[in-house]
Amino acid sequence: MKSFPTTNRPGPAATGRTGFTLLETILALGVTFLIVTTAFGIVTSCMELGDTVRISRTGREEKAAVEDLFRNFFSTLPQDSALECRVSGSSRTPLTEIRVQNAPALAGSILNPGPNEVLVIQTTEEPGGYLRLGVGISEGRLGTARAGPVSGFAVAGQIAMCRWRFFQADRNQWQEKWDLTMGRPRFVELTFSQTSALPERWVFPVPVFAAPQTGNDPQNPNPPTDEDGDGKPDNPGQPPRDGDRPRPDGGRPGPPNGPPLPNRNRP
């Protein structure tokens, strides 16, 4: 019987080499996966929070810019300016177009309408069911059909609500539409909100100008004047009526067509 020589191989303890079992490897991979997943979730949450803060800050800044823009515009309307407002679309999503004649420059000097142009503030639809608020200049005059397209720029987008109203002082009520026959509004109201934010209401005062003096005073149609600057009236004005002239006996002036009243201070 032939025999083969045997060799004695050293074990792990003899060579000083150690290794991981399959179970230990699986456990290590699982722990590593949990750590990486947790870290990725934390980083993603921080990025989303930063985006939310940035969007919120941008939204507040954009709303503040819209408020300042229209507050400055309506508060500087000159005396000869006039406006009209047309509303189209549905009651849920109205599309408003405000046309201002003889309007001041808007946004500095970017939009400065000429004599035969009107400044237009309008809302249009954009994808996603939102609205866009823009301003521009169009040819033509109020009370006539639009003669040319509106050229301008967008003020704000992603708008969920944009409603304009005008306060009619003689009727003491707000109107959603306005035309030239209604005169000049006392206040302009804008209810504005973007995306899912709560709506904000702004009221812009419109300057009120006193009626010019015509000089047709029924009591004094010829008021005194002092054109030479000597401190004395050039014309004495309307002479007093007979009943308003002082009496020689000290009696008080009576009615225009009646006798003078007696002087109660005289015995």
Residue 174 belongs to what domain range?
A: 70-205
Quote the number of domains for the chain.
1
Q: Is the pTM of this model over 0.75?
A: no
Task: Please check whether residue 193 lies inside any domain of the structure.
Answer: yes
| Angle made by CA atoms 149, 107, 137, in degrees to the nearest 5 | 15
Integer CA distances (angstroms), 26 to 18, 20, 33, 36, 38, in order: 17, 10, 11, 15, 18
The answer to whether the CB of 98 falls within 8 A of the CB of 165 is: no
pLDDT band at 215 (very low <50, low <70, confident <90, very high): low
Residue 117: inside a domain, yes or no?
yes
Does residue 128 belong to any structural domain of this protein? yes
* Secondary structure letter of residue 119 according to DSSP: E
* 62/205 Cα distance (integer angstroms): 21
Residue 40, domain member (yes or no)? no
Residue 86 included in any domain: yes
pLDDT value at position 85?
93
* 89: Cβ contacts below 8 Å, ≥ 6 apart: 95, 125
User: For the segment 69-111, what is each residue's pLDDT rounded down to a tens digit?
Assistant: 999 999 999 999 999 999 988 777 889 999 999 988 886 667 8
What pLDDT, on the 0 to 100 scale, is given for residue 55?
46
**Is residue 28, in this structure, part of any structural domain at all?**
no
Residue 56 forms part of a structural domain: no
What stretch of H or E contains 35? helix 22-75
